[in-house]
Amino acid sequence: MANEPDNPQDTAPKRRRAQDWRLLRRYWPFVRPELSWLWLGLLAVPVMSVGGLVQPWLIKEAIDGPITSELQGRGYAGPWTISLIAAVFLTAVIAEYGFRGLQLYALQRAGYASLTRLRRGVFAHVLRQSAKFFDKRATGSLLSRTTNDVEALGEVLTFGIVGIVGDIVDILAIFAAMVILDVELTGLTLLVAPAIVLLVNFFRRQLRKHSTEIRRSMAEASGAFQEALAGAKVVQLHGRRAITVSEYKALNYKYLKAYQLSNWYDASLYAVMDGVASLSIALLIWFAGGRAVQGAVTVGLLVAFIQYIQRVFVPIRELSGKVATIERAMAALERIVGLLDIDESLPQGSHAPTTVAGAIGFANVDFSYDGKTPVLRGVTLQVPAGKVLALVGPTGSGKTTVAKLLTRAYAGPTGAIQLDNVAVEQWDLQALRRSIGVVQQDVVLFAGTLGENVDLGRGLSAQVLRTALEDACLGDVLARVGGLDAPVGEGGASLSAGERQLLSIARILAANPAVVVLDEATASIDTLTEQRVQAAIERVLVGRTALVVAHRLSTVRRADQIAVLRQGEVVECGDHDTLLAAGGLYAQLVAAADRQGAIV
């Protein structure tokens, strides 16, 4: 407690600045490849500043020189003629705006290239995570990080940090020119500086707070929207449309309120800065006007100072606007870095054999999803290469969990899980999953062609894909939809549930893995379709080791070995006839299956 500051708020700005620099350092690797474009944007700054700086001075020279001389009826013998001043003025304008355009192009190119790199990095990072990562996070929130937050971050480079450097250079250069022209008038102009500092600091804090809330509420709304779209049929069938719309409306109002407050502070900052600029010009006219009458200040000098004040408040106003932009971007970057800092990916080994026999072993395996409630307790199983093991048991007994641990969807089990006598943790993760094909009850299809949904980016030949579809009893579907290049629609909308299940089997046949996991592959299809699926499964099982999570009796009977689970424990193990004769839990499940057609 002795080390605590007397006032925690005193250290808050320092902590915030330190955190901002840490965030920017995390962003830098994505920006570094565009360093040449950033340098080009920076090098354009001094040319822009000089081009803008000389214009009021040229106006002063024109008024105090040839124009005043002509008005007073005396000749002008100075070096700056009206024609020369006009030519130099035009050159300065062209230089200022030409290099401003070059700077904007360079910064936008660097900014959007780094955004692309960051978006790819976030996407790749998310895809590396384990299933546990996705269990705890809404898809819409993750989507918001890779779209809205990344887009907001782009403003940091496109209109932010380098732009601030340019604004600071402009401000310093203009004040330096004003000091050279008249120190006293410059000091009068600086009277409003403390007010500017206080105002910008106040609005910056408010904008950071509301920008963070904007990002948070946007993620919540995106998550709700994605969830509603994914479950649109359920929403409609259960008459929940009005409630869902109302909930989404409330989330949008939360986002709208945060955005309105942020815009109010942003707009107020611009308005206040314009007011301070007008006040500064009024003070200048009041003070310098009298001196001009006395001859202490020339008309050209007064006009030049008014021009400089108008010019100096442009970068000050832009600087304050860029501060608002950076506050929004830093809030977004904070969320992105927070996501990148979460790493729940699975550590992996280097074992990647060219051939896999497919022997599976579980030895005294315990597992819990939340670290508290055990799902598996002391599970021990042995499946020789080429053999079929069926897992049966009541709902929630841990059957699917066994299959997930074999493919390393989750980390953290105790005991040993092996493939070909090598612990799955020692396998290269891609090699492990190439060796194990999984057919799930809920089939995920992508909005591509039929061939792409079977190939899944493996680069297989068209003949291999056609053979896989025909062996999966989808030859009629292949002919009906018009071949491998026919679109299947998002989620496989053009296919029936049974056809989608058969397509997932075709994926396995095309990939030809050594081990197959069938996770209740016939659970939700009709009897006629089940016969087609069973025929396809028979082809899948030939010559492969199989782990079958099933509740259809027809699937279980042909297994070489059956393991019966209850509350995460293997309570019985043997073939169908042996377990039936034992009269235990399996016999009870079979008796129930005779009445219901399913083990559970």
What is the predicted pLDDT for the residue at 3? 43
Mean pLDDT, rounded, for 99-105: 87
- DSSP string over 253-308: HHHHHHHHHHHHHHHHHHHHHHHHHHHHHHHHHHHHHHHHHHTSS-HHHHHHHHHH
Residue 427 DSSP label? B
The domain limits of the chain are 31-341, 360-596
Q: What is the pLDDT of residue 595?
A: 60
pLDDT of residue 169: 83
Residues 6+ apart with CB under 8 A from 256: none
Among 22-36, 42-56, 70-84, 556-570, the least confident range = 70-84
Compute the average pLDDT of residues 212-221. 79
Mean pLDDT of the chain: 82
**Sequence letter at residue 591:** A
367: pLDDT strictly greater than 90: yes
Q: Give the per-residue pLDDT at 310.
A: 80
User: What mean pLDDT is predicted for residues 578-585?
Assistant: 89
Asked if residue 140 lies in contact with residue 147, where contact means CB atoms within 8 angstroms, the answer is no
pLDDT digits over 177-206, tens only?
Answer: 888 888 888 888 778 778 777 877 787 778
For residues 217 and 163, the model is more confident at 217
pLDDT tens by residue, 149-159:
887 777 666 65
Confidence of residue 432 (pLDDT cuts 50, 70, 90): very high
Vertex 113: Cα angle to 111 and 116 (nearest 5): 110
For 501-535, how does the pLDDT look when each residue is reduced to its tens digit (9 = 90+)? 888 889 999 999 999 998 876 555 556 666 777 78
pLDDT tier for residue 161 given thresholds of 50, 70 and 90:
low
Contacts of 167 (CB under 8 A, 6+ apart): 315, 316, 318, 319, 322
Q: Judge if 31-341 and 360-596 fold alike in CATH terms.
A: no
From residue 491, give the alpha-carbon distance in Å to each of 72, 149, 496: 85, 27, 11
142 pLDDT band, cuts 50/70/90, is confident
Structure tokens at 363: 């030895």
Looking at per-residue pLDDT, the higher value among 536 and 401 belongs to 401
The per-residue pLDDT for range 342-355, each reduced to its tens digit, is 888 888 889 999 89
Give residue 2's pLDDT. 40
SS3 364: strand
Rounded-to-integer distance, Cα 426 and Cα 440, Å: 25
Residue 376 has pLDDT above 90, yes or no: yes
Q: In what order do the strands lie in the sheet with 388-392?
A: 436-439, 515-519, 545-549, 388-392, 561-566, 569-574
Q: Is the pLDDT confidence value at 7 over 50?
A: no
- Span 568-579, pLDDT tens digits: 999 999 988 899
**pLDDT for 375:** 92
Report residue 452: phi and psi, to 5°.
-65, -35
pLDDT at residue 274 greater than cutoff 90: no
What is the mean predicted confidence (pLDDT) over 465-470?
90
Residue 69: pLDDT band (50, 70, 90) is confident
Handedness of CA 96, 98, 101, 107 (dihedral sign): negative
Mean pLDDT of 298-314: 82
> Does residue 320 register a pLDDT over 80?
no
| pLDDT score of 325 more than 80 | no
Q: At 10, is the pLDDT very low, low, confident or very high (cuts 50, 70, 90)?
A: very low
Is the domain covering 31-341 a CATH 1.20.1560.10 domain?
yes
Are 495 and 488 contacting, i.e. CB atoms less than 8 angstroms apart? yes
SS3 562: strand
Cβ-count burial 3-18 (b if 16+ within 10 Å, e if not): eeeeeeeeeeeeeeee
DSSP classification of residue 492: G
Q: Hey, which residues does 422 pair with through a beta bridge?
A: 419
Q: Is 386 left (phi over 0), alpha (psi -120 to 50) or beta?
A: left
Average pLDDT over residues 285-298: 70
Collect all residues with Cβ–Cβ distance below 8 Å to 476 and sequence separation of at least 6. Answer: none
pLDDT at residue 537, as a whole number: 82
Give the CATH number of domain 360-596.
3.40.50.300
pLDDT in tens, 585-599: 888 888 876 665 555
